[in-house]
Structure 1
Amino acid sequence: VAVFGAGGVGLAALQAARIAGASRIVAVDVSPRKEELARRAGATDYVVASENTAREIRALTDKQGVDVAIECVGRATTIRTAWESTRRGGRTTVVGIGGKDQQVTFNALELFHWGRTLSGCVYGNSDPARDLPVLAAHVREGRLDLGALVTERITLDGIPAAFDNMIAGRGGRALVVF
């Protein structure tokens, strides 16, 4: 599994990959400072995003690519890189919310040749009646650590600084406490 973006959503996806039993979990982020957070969430490997990210991921997976890529950023270049990091017949899921200006293109031959599946995901495509009890059990039994997603606790006055941190690629999730 490769998870693109090591913010709050990406850290949760890393934990989910670990819980699901993925043998290799590659975290990708633009910030080298997020490596320790990603590894604590379950990443076995960490790649700092660059023009060579897909090639680096393929090198980590015997040149095959990952079975599943989860894009948590919502940028066209990240979606494209996640797609290119996925093995033939694998699945790329876009969780990140991009703008209308974020256009991703594919040619007809590569769609045929790679046979990958590309899909979007809204709120984990969950069924709350089925999935919330399972998530709660993971939390109770210590497999899903929600506290690890929170890297700072702030008051309402701290919201602007939390957005600055998010834009600068620092930390995971800020929790507003009042």
Structure 2
Amino acid sequence: MKPHPDKDRMDALMPAIREFQALALRHGINDIFQDNGGKLLQVILTLGLTVLPGREGNDARDELGLEYELKSVNLDLTKNFSTHHHLNPVILAKYRQVDWVFALYRGIELIAVYRMKPWQLEPWFAKQESKWHSDGGRDINNPKIPVGYVLEHGQLLAGCDPEIRFRASKMVPVMPVLDPFRADND
């Protein structure tokens, strides 16, 4: 076998790729080519977040100590965010505790970043929890969150509206009403 003619071009790009990887390592990302490492770096630097170590638990933390679940999607490939390969009530309970950050890409270009509060995702959480129970307690394999739902109900943090067409969701989040005069245990 002989090398492809583009190998010389790839070799010429390697110093910049190594520099990108070194930057990622400084931010706790071991491999820019695994688990969306390069995209994760882009999002955390854009939002000023810190990567949380390990593959279990939440993905990032802000300067106030608040933790976030991060998701990304390449709009050239799909219009849904992947979630968890074994979704169940334990994972849903964890998901209900933190804000979510959704990064929308076209290829490797970051187009927009949205944030959603747990209450905004509660209709989706409730739907998945109901499905889990109706399926006899079997974990759900990677249910998707539609990009359209995020665009409808999320807060744009960075970038611009990706201007994609989507069908309006039937899920409607209900903002909780807090009564400052009511005791916490009521």
Same fold flag (TM > 0.5): no
The alignment's TM-score, normalised by the length of structure 2, stands at: 0.29
Tell me which structure has the larger Cα radius of gyration.
2
Greater length-normalized contact order (CA 8 Å, ≥ 6 residues apart): 1
The alignment's TM-score, normalised by the length of structure 1, stands at: 0.30
Structure (1 or 2) with the greater helix fraction: 1
